Structure 1
Amino acid sequence: MSTVAIKAKQAKPFLKWAGGKSQLLSQFEALYPRELKQGNIKKYIEPFIGGGAVFFDVVQKYNLSSAFISDVNPEIVMVYQVIQQEPEKLIEKLDNLAQKYQSLSEDNRKKIYYELREQYNKQRLRINYQQYNDDWISRSAILIFLNRTCFNGLFRLN
């Protein structure tokens, strides 16, 4: 029997986001507090998580005991809460969307994109962002799907 080395993958932002910081991480790291690099900071607070590039970078490189994330956008907060609480259900919904999308012609892909975007925009007025519920899982899957299939990660909310 042979052994195979498995390289652990680093978590990266799952959303393409306007103002994303992924390409600037090396420049930001030079500005991280010395105390963080020395292991003297144990708590990380991210008030504007967005796509999460800085968050993922910090929590994977430094020995923290806790991290807290927030954002002014309730949609983003909702997605991160779904990932935290029910990642398997979210992945299942994303897999279903991906399989359906990939089986379609280019014209039908555009059609389903616009249908899902319309559904997403209409649902926004009915969603309760204060109380976790099953609607959050579907909505999070649609948000991620729209984000990954639209032009340059900049989809429009009406």
Structure 2
Amino acid sequence: MRRILVYGVTGSGKSTLAALIGRRLGLPYHSIDDLMWRPGWVPVPEAEQRAIIKELLAGDEWVIDAAYGFWHDLALERADLIVGLDLPRHRSYGQLLRRTVTQVVRRTPTCNGNYETWRLAFFSRESMLWFHVHSFARKRRRMRLWHSSPDFPETVLLRSRAEVHRWLAALPALDERS
């Protein structure tokens, strides 16, 4: 397990888990949102995203926290392991709602120096909350397909916070490996 894709719906905790996996295993963690969004919420063009991701994934070791639909094929070609956060909708949406409100109130940067605003978070088609509602079923189907098919890298589905904690604790810590 040297190339790991952490996948799940918006708000499921992908970035947090990917960073923890990276630290635990001594692998470089890459925040995909930081690579795919420029300041001012300007998206990196799709062709450029594919080039950035292809270069990143060419490395022998990495942990990434997403796989955007128009380049997830690149991640699937290289990943040794997919960790799917298959949490119930109420859990991931609740986490996303809390995170969004906290980031707006505290003016915490979301990614690459970008900030959520009340208008963006709650009254825009660009809202992560809106995106969660409209992408939940599709992302869940995708990770369950990956899990059930031998045509994809090994896929672990974690369906609760307790499962996430148990799975992470079972990974060999950097100082435990020889």
Relative to the length of structure 2, the TM-score reads 0.29
Higher relative contact order at CA 8 Å, sep ≥6: structure 1 or structure 2? Answer: 2
More strand by share: 2
* Bigger-Rg structure (1/2): 1
Relative to the length of structure 1, the TM-score reads 0.32
